[in-house]
Amino acid sequence: GRPYPALQDRPHDFSALLSYNLNPKWQLSAIFVYSSGTPITPIRGFFIVEQNVNYLFGARNSQRMQPYHRLDLSATILPNKDNPNYESSWTIAVYNIYDNRNPLFQYYVPEQDEETGQLNLEGRNVSFFPVIPSLTWNFSWKPKSAVEKTEVETSKQKTGL
């Protein structure tokens, strides 16, 4: 058979992460993701047999969907960074901040023009994940050895050793 691009073929795939510690308690982050569109097999035409629409397909995976891209932003606060027993943080994040409707797949719907009676195919994209805000609380107990080590360091600082 003829070679064709695989469904997972992505000639361009780029991710960038920026992270900035505003101060000891606040961290700001941004992630940008870009990749080439997914290969698709185009529909070149159609015909009707017994009131059923049948499609004429083009070369397999010879076209691509729109490129995929998004920008995610987050801010993390560490409210109790000096607590020797546990660590905690709150993160406010927004996934796909500019609401790019990245297409997951495409399907076609036959539409009939009421004036002319002509049947046309309308391609429609199905997209996932619009803007998604989130609030996350992370909490963990520090291991006992870390707590003991912190207590020793604290007592050394108090005694001036």
Contacts of 137 (CB under 8 A, 6+ apart): 88, 89, 90
Residue 64 CB neighbour total at 10 angstroms: 16
2 band by pLDDT with thresholds 50, 70 and 90: confident
Beta bridge partners of 116: none
Residue 82 has pLDDT above 80, yes or no: no
Q: Which helix (H) or strand (E) element contains residue 70?
A: strand 68-77
Closest CA to 81 of 69, 73, 89: 89
79 band by pLDDT with thresholds 50, 70 and 90: confident
Given a contact cutoff of 8 angstroms between Cβ atoms, the answer to whether 54 and 43 are in contact is no
* 83-98 pLDDT tens trace: 778 889 999 999 999 9
Given a contact cutoff of 8 angstroms between Cβ atoms, the answer to whether 103 and 124 are in contact is no
Residue 44 has pLDDT above 60, yes or no: yes
Q: What is the mean pLDDT of the chain?
A: 88
State the Cα–Cα distance between residues 120 and 111, nearest whole angstrom: 5
Tokens 């891209």 correspond to what residue?
69
Average pLDDT over residues 36-59: 91
* 106-161 pLDDT tens trace: 988 888 888 998 888 888 999 989 999 999 999 988 887 655 665 656 666 666 55
Closest CA to 17 of 3, 6, 31: 31
State the Cα–Cα distance between residues 103 and 100, nearest whole angstrom: 9
